Structure formats: structure tokens, C-alpha cells
Chain A
Amino acid sequence: MLNLRDNPLLLYALGICPALAVSTRVDNALVMGLLVLVVLMGTTLVMAALEPVLPEALRLPLALVAAAGLVTAGDLFLRTYLPGLREGLGIYVQLVAVNCLLVGRTETGRRRLSEAAPEAFGQGAGFCLGLLLVALVREVLGAGTISLFPVGSFSGTLRIGGLAEQPVRILLLAPGAFLVLGYLAALYNRSRS
């Protein structure tokens, strides 16, 4: 069933590799989160469709092939329509194919589509939201900006006066990713209990 309370990123630390690496900008995080959501949903659909004819031993390899295909499609889409942003995401786009969220889903056993789809959506959306939250904190404090997408006369970047001149730059570096994710996870777990 749809479950948005068990955030995979903040509760189980699943998929933290891309989360730590691309959360320096809000737009990067948004695109990465949506890509994970789309690939997770797509893989779940493909696996559910193949479920009746699929031998157990082929579950994981086939799930990875399906995920890799979807990631390649997503990659081509990004290269065509958002080339600058695709550049910033680097290798982490391809790595979505072996994201442990995906692998974890195929390990949960046989599921009917009506069960699996809401679950996958909940996890993907939770990951996306968690990633956005980490990126928002890091970019606002670490750079003093919020990078979104240019629409019409809006340039795509919000600057926060004062912070943008002398931001807490360490939050954009690797230690900042761990600090922010750690404290957000602590807060999240505390608010649940």
C-alpha cells in the first residue's frame, strides 16, 4: 500500500550515494529524484507484467536490465532537453540503474501490480522529497541560492541576500552532505517516535 511515512532516505538510508552527491543544488536534486521515481515505477510495472512467466532465478538480472533500459532512456531525454543539468549530474544518472532502492524492491518477493505499484510510488516519492529537503538545506545555507528552472522572465536562480555573499561553504562540500543528511534523519526519526 501507499506509504509515505517510511521515508527510504531518512529512515533506512537507502540510496544515499546519489543523495549525498547531487544534493548541492535544488534543481539537480529534483531531476534526480524524479528520475529515480520514474525508473522505480517503470521497473515495477515491467516486473509485474512478466511475473507469471518469470523463473525466480531471473528476477534480479531482469530487473537490472529493465532498470538500465529505463535509465538509458531517461539519460537520453535529459541530454536532449536539459543538457546543462545533465552535465552537473555526471555519473550519478547511470548509477540510478543499480540504486539500492531498486534492488531492494526486487528483493521484496512476488507482488501483484495493485500492491507493488503504490509501494514503489511511495518509496520513489519519499526518496524524491527527502532528496529535495537535503538539497534545499545545503544550497540555501551553503551557497545562499535556490536553483530552479528558468521560466519566462525568471532566471531560474533565487538569491538569498546576506547569505549569498558569505555562505557556509562547507555545507556544499562532502562533509556538509553527511552533516545535513545526519541531522535531517535524526529529526525525522525523532518526529516519528
Chain B
Amino acid sequence: VISAPHLHAGPTSRRMMLSVVVCLLPAGLWAVVRYGPPALYVLLASIAASLLTELAIAALAFRRFTLGDGSAALTGLLIGFTLPPAVPLYVPIAAAVFAIAVVKMTFGGLGRNWMNPALGGRVFVMFSWPVFFHASPAAGRADSLLRWIWNGTPGAIGDVSATLLVLGSVYLFVRRIIRWETPAAFIGSFSLAVWAFAGLPHGFFRGDLPLYLLTGGLLLGALYQATDPVTSPLTRVGRLVFGAGCGLLAFLVRRFGPYAEGVAPAVVFMNMLVPLINRLTRRAAC
């Protein structure tokens, strides 16, 4: 902040949230087409639970109505995207209630949470009911890369169409609702690590890059979740550091950890370092 007057011509949080929701919808609809009603039920359950939790807590604790900013709906949608379509419905509901009540509202609501609510909810259910998360991504390798890009990949609801996720994010990049640094560093460091180390028992630089990039929620995490303006750094250098850390950790957790994917724990962990990154990169140009 330099000096008054501070003109505010940027997008409002309501418009930002709704833009992201609209950009995610094609991928969500395609997932419902591919997986059928179970995917729809998971998405509806997580969105409904998220909206109701926000409504109840905002009314009881803050005496305000906060559904209008659209952030609770987006959180619910993102939670649904990170879950496999076959989970029992208490999983999306528990994830949404935890995300809104514990991760977001406990710390004061939109803009005050230090952890991405959707990913916090996802991590909560992943550690609570690991059975549902073991076999989801990498269930099988498609015979051709083209078919994967066209038909979609196995895994969580949001993993189905990499194409639609990327297309949706183009609008958000153009409108500068998401900034390029985080996804670029995230995908860059992740790809580098996968290429160099993922094939390890057989040698260096033999990783299966398409498999790792197109499954396991990597694109969803890098484009839509790590870029959350509340929980990512304020400076350009900071966002590069943040994204690179996310990519590296996501690779380590996924390749060497017991879980099928590593994006959610990686981003949540890096969220914790955001205040530190902000402080260390304050002098750099933002």
C-alpha cells in the first residue's frame, strides 16, 4: 500500500467465485455424463452440505448472510471434484462440513482462512476413510494418449476431462482471476520430478509423464486449488516458490507415500508456509 486514494477496480470476490464455478461446470457435466448419477449425487451432496454449513454458522456466529459471495458453493463444487464417484454420501458431506466449519469459519470466514477449505476437507476424509481413496487414479493406462485427452481419464470426478479443465482455466487466466505463476511452477516442478525420478527402480529420466499429469487431480489442483487467492502468496516470486514447492511435494507424496494422490496434502502443507513466503519475498516486485 503506497498512499491514498486506493482505487479498487478489480473483480469482486462474488464475480471471481462465480467465474470459477462457471469455468468448472463443463468438466463437471462431462463427469456426470461419464460416471452417471453417482457423480451427480456426490457433487450435489458436497455443494448442499457446504452451503448449509456456511448458512448455519454465518447466521449463528456472525449474524450475517454470506452465501452471496459464492465461495461456499465453489468450495462444495471443488470438494466434489476431488472425490471418486463411488464414495458413500457421508464422505462428501463430512468433507464439506469440515471444510466450511473448521477450515474456514473457525478462522473468521472468507479471506481469513490460511488453508484452502476444499483441500482441507479432502485431506480430512482421505485420512479418515482411506479405503475409498486407494485405487482411484492410475487404475489403468489408456492405450493412446489421444484417447485419454478426448475421452477422459479414470479417477476422481474432476479428473475426467483434462481438456475441459484446461479450457475452463484459459478464461480465468485471461481475466487474471488466476495468475499464471502458481500453476506454471506447480506443473513445471512436478513434471521435472516425475520425468527424472518416477521411473526410479528402472533408472532416471524414465517417468510416465502423461499418466502423472492427467490423473491424480494434478491439473485440478494446480489450476483451480493452489491458485486460491486467499491461500496463495501475494508476490510474483512468492507464487513461483509456492507453486514449485507444491509440485515437488505432490510428487513425493504420490510416488513414495501410501496414498494414491499427493496434490491435496502438498497444497495444504504449502498453504502453511504462505505467510513466511510472503514475508521473505516482500521486497521483490509483485
Contact = CB atoms under 8 A, between A and B. Distances in A.
A170 B124 CA distance: 7
B45 to A, nearest CB: 16
A170 B129 CA distance: 8
A170 B127 contact: yes
A168 B88 CA distance: 14
Given A168-B94, A169-B127, A175-B127, 14 more contacts: A166-B88, A166-B90, A166-B129, A167-B128, A168-B128, A169-B128, A169-B129, A169-B130, A170-B124, A170-B127, A170-B128, A171-B128, A173-B127, A179-B102
A191 to B, nearest CB: 15
Contacts of B88: 166
Interface in A152-193: 166-171, 173, 175, 179
A171 B124 CA distance: 9
Nearest to A166: B129
17 contacts: A166-B88, A166-B90, A166-B129, A167-B128, A168-B94, A168-B128, A169-B127, A169-B128, A169-B129, A169-B130, A170-B124, A170-B127, A170-B128, A171-B128, A173-B127, A175-B127, A179-B102
B72 to A, nearest CB: 21
Contacts of B102: 179
Contacts of B90: 166
- Contact-residue bracket for chain B: under 10
Interface of A: 166-171, 173, 175, 179
B39 to A, nearest CB: 21
A179 B124 CA distance: 11
A167 B102 CA distance: 18
Contacts of A179: 102
Summarize A's interface: helix, strand, loop or mixed: helix
B236 to A, nearest CB: 32
Interface in B35-78: none
B143 to A, nearest CB: 36
Contacts of B124: 170
Contacts of B94: 168
Contacts of A175: 127
Interface string B78-110: 000000000010100010000000100000000
B116 to A, nearest CB: 16
B169 to A, nearest CB: 31
A88 to B, nearest CB: 21
Interface string B200-212: 0000000000000
Contacts of A166: 88, 90, 129
Interface string B102-136: 10000000000000000000001001111000000
Contacts of B130: 169
Contacts of A170: 124, 127-128
Nearest to B125: A170
B120 to A, nearest CB: 10
Nearest to B132: A166
Contacts of A171: 128
B81 to A, nearest CB: 21
A166 B132 CA distance: 11
A168 B127 CA distance: 8
A168 B97 CA distance: 13
A172 to B, nearest CB: 9
B258 to A, nearest CB: 13
Nearest to B124: A170
Contacts of B128: 167-171
A174 to B, nearest CB: 10
Nearest to A186: B106
A96 B253 CA distance: 36
A175 B127 CA distance: 10
Return the 6 tightest CB-CB contacts between A and B, nearest first. Answer: A170-B127, A170-B128, A168-B128, A169-B128, A170-B124, A166-B129
A172 B112 CA distance: 27
Interface string B229-260: 00000000000000000000000000000000
Contacts of A168: 94, 128
Q: Tell which of B88, B127, B128, B129 has the most Cβ of chain A within 10 Å.
A: B128
A9 B68 CA distance: 40
Interface string B128-150: 11100000000000000000000
